[in-house]
Structure 1
């Protein structure tokens, strides 16, 4: 089993599996060309590609969108972020998928209105990835000079390869976790979904 391999070998396996999704590799290459600060391709497109390959589905099956996070604290205006979004829309226009680009330095400005909870300002893209509702989601990949892949996986890769959804009590509320887990399990019934803890848990992370 891949999850029982040493971490360096798991990383090799992760790249091999993700590379089977042609849309994903195109998004990586085109985002690298945009030269966004601190960017990662993250969230569902990564772990869902792994789930598809592990369960013998087409690599891109059921993937709704491809999330690109970047971090630019020098300009928190909507106009600056919108300019990046528009550049991305042009770069990804011919791909058969929706690519969503967001400046994680701005999340605290709109999060409460959308989700009803206060979001402290993130210090980095990694800190934003740390806040996902499930630890399985806490995964980011970017393409660096020379074709090297940088992988951020604060909770490791075992759950991803083992099809385990584990809660990450912190910023995201229980309702978000349970709604996402139910949707994922409806599409990938092989998943094991772990229950939200019954007692309050506080998590901390350096975010990178």
Structure 2
């Protein structure tokens, strides 16, 4: 079981498992050409690929989109972010999946209106990844120089491999976590969903 291996072996396992999702590896390869500052492919497309492979499902099962985060605080205008989004639409247009690109330097400008709680400005893409609803989601991967992978996993990989969903009550409201967890359990009933802390 990958979740019980030493961390270096878990990282090798992660690369191997994620490589089974050819859409994901294509998104990563193409994203690297956009030269976005601090970019990562992140969120559901990563941990859900692991869940699929670990449970014997097709690697792309239940994945609704592929998220790319980047961090550019030099221009916080919607127009600058929209230009990147449009470039991404062209780059990924032929893929059989939706790819969403977002500048995490701008999140604090719209977060409270959408989720009802304020979000302090992020300092980097990693700061944004730290704030996902579940620690299991706090994962980012990108291609570095050559074919090297850079993996950001502040809570490790054991829960991801062991199908454990653990709440991360640093920003996202409880109801967001519980809604996401319920949707994930419907798709992957093997998951262990841990309750929101009192």
TM-score, structure 2 normalization: 0.99
Superposed, 1:36-185 pairs within 5 Å as 36-185=36-185
Please tell me whether residue 34 in structure 1 is matched to residue 34 in structure 2. yes
- Name the counterpart of 1:23: 23
- Name the counterpart of 1:203: none
What CA distance in whole angstroms lies between the structure 2 residues aligned with 1:168 and 1:4? 22
Structure 1 gap ranges (5+): 199-208
**Cα displacement (A) at 1:180:** 0.1
**Cα displacement (A) at 1:170:** 1.2
State the secondary structure of the residue aligned to 1:25: helix
Work out the number of aligned pairs and report it: 198
Deviations 1:130-173 (A, max 9, x none): 00010000000000111000000000000000000000011000
What CA distance in whole angstroms lies between the structure 2 residues aligned with 1:89 and 1:185? 31
What CA distance in whole angstroms lies between the structure 2 residues aligned with 1:175 and 1:109? 21
- Runs of 4+ aligned residues of structure 1 deviating over 2 Å after TM superposition are none
TM-score, structure 1 normalization: 0.95
**Cα displacement (A) at 1:3:** 1.0
